[in-house]
Structure 1
Amino acid sequence: MNLHSRRHWVIGDVHGCHQPLCQLLATLPPNDHLVFCGDVINRGEAIPATMNLVWDLVQAGRATWLRGNHEQDLIDALESRDGLSQHATYAQLGDSSARQWLPRLQQLPLVYRGDGWCATHAGFDAAGQPDLSIRDPFWEAYDGRFGQVVVGHTPRLQVERLGAIVLIDTGAVYGGCLSAYCPQTDAVVQVEGAATDAVLAGVGPC
């Protein structure tokens, strides 16, 4: 079956929440294609296990892992050797393992394009280029040129639709949900995120 003719599930920011991710994967149809919307890494307590799980899915052809701003920040730090002490991912991986991950992270795409929809981490700039940190300017100015756009990056209480934009980061690492969205059916599947004392304002339980 052609990859783009299969159903897809775009998964919001995982941020090292390994157990919730395992629970979500057990809930989703096994033959559908998974698109991780970036920020698989950082913040959570099980970052290496989460990275290995997602990478194994990529290698098996079941998933696409998009680059988020946290992956880009780690790439930049590893390439420059500047600011590494600030990265939870680097601390959990250790230097040797982080160096081994660099070429994998460097090949992560910025956009996944489906039939009438696409996924990217945060949105597109005024020139139509993927922007890993954009928020309101994209939401306010998007002209529909790429069809429905599914993004993570900005935690919400629930999956939220802003016209042709779907926001699917529901704050799993802050005790919210880990969410998956199917652009072909508009379905949402959620599991409880990490149990944590770090609660983000506006993000609640599933």
Structure 2
Amino acid sequence: MQQRVLVIGDIHGGLLALQEILSNANVGSNDKLIFLGDYVDGWSHSPQVLDFLINLQEKQQCIFIRGNHDQLLLDWLEKSKTNFNEEMWFKHGGEATVKAYNLISAVKRQVHVEFLKSLQNYYIDNQNRLFVHAGFTNLNGVAFEYFPELFYWDRTLWETALCLDTTIDTSSAYYPKRFSNYKEIFIGHTPVTKINETKPLKYANVWNVDTGAAFCGSLTIMDVDSKEYWQSKPLNLLYPDEKGRN
């Protein structure tokens, strides 16, 4: 059986949605899975999502990209930042995560810390396709980025793609050099629901696979080659007694 390469958008503690899309896409052990980050914060299953991913990588090839919420959780678990803004984190989904971790043992927390530390800032495959949670700013590409935090915080890559004049030829000096470094770029971080869309979107050569699972949107898994995709039910239907990041 030919291996599929499947990319998964932001999960935000929605284990039920993750299980649903893997079933919908009929994912098998031969498939390669690339997760774009933000596994936690929002719905109540953040620890369970990490457990699921840790076990999943024992069964098949997985690439795990670091999201900003994953880094926030790591900072909280390690208490590594004296200026950590817990109140702001709570407003953006961290409260549900803290409540969930109140039920998690110290041993399991340490397993999660090691997993979070192992996440990659980005991944480039053998077809020069870039997978990154948020974006990058250096014109010459991710290897030249001055500030690694931008891999999981930047929004300017997607904003530029949205605003780009589609009549500009890719060989033109006016075409953003950031885009021309890669055949395709796959991101999450900024939900397409912010522009009233519900499916993965492509602008320039940038694919946004975050379909708003943190809020009232669905979780998406997409075949990188064929662009066929599968979605879960909206997360607020899977977690009717919770608020997520709404």
- Could you tell me the TM-score, scaled by structure 1's length? 0.84
Correspondence for 2:129 among 83, 108, 117: 117
Moved more, 68-77 or 10-19: 68-77
- Render the CA deviation track for 1:161-202: whole Å, top value 9, x for unaligned: 01110001001131211111222112222121312575989x
Please give the root-mean-square deviation of Cα atoms over the aligned residues, in Å.
2.6
Larger relative contact order (C-alpha < 8 A, sep ≥ 6)?
2
| 2:202 aligned counterpart, secondary structure | strand
**Which structure is higher in strand share?**
1
- Render the CA deviation track for 1:37-82: whole Å, top value 9, x for unaligned: 0001111121122111112112323322211011112223323374
| 2:70 aligned counterpart, secondary structure | helix
- Could you tell me the TM-score, scaled by structure 2's length? 0.71
Instruction: Tell me the number of residue pairs that the alignment of Structure 1 and Structure 2 aligns.
Output: 198
Correspondence for 1:131 among 129, 145, 151: 151
Correspondence for 1:104 among 89, 102, 115: 115
| 1:51 aligned counterpart, secondary structure | helix
Correspondence for 2:214 among 168, 173, 192: 173
| 2:214 aligned counterpart, secondary structure | helix
Residue segments in structure 1 that go unaligned for 5+ positions in a row: 202-206
Q: Structure 1: which 4+ aligned runs deviate by more than 3 Å?
A: 80-88, 196-201
State whether residues 175 and 192 of structure 1, in contact with CA within 8 Å, keep that contact through their aligned partners in structure 2: no
Match of 1:204 in 2: none
Amino acid at match of 1:180: I
State the identity as a percent: 24
Match of 2:190 in 1: 154
Moved more, 49-58 or 132-141: 132-141
- Alignment partners' CA distance in 1, 2:224 and 2:230: 12
| Larger Rg, first or second structure (1 or 2) | 2
Residue segments in structure 2 that go unaligned for 5+ positions in a row: 143-149, 161-175
Classify 1:135/1:107 alpha carbon distance in 2 versus 1 (closer, same or farther; 3 Å): same
State whether residues 121 and 151 of structure 1, in contact with CA within 8 Å, keep that contact through their aligned partners in structure 2: yes
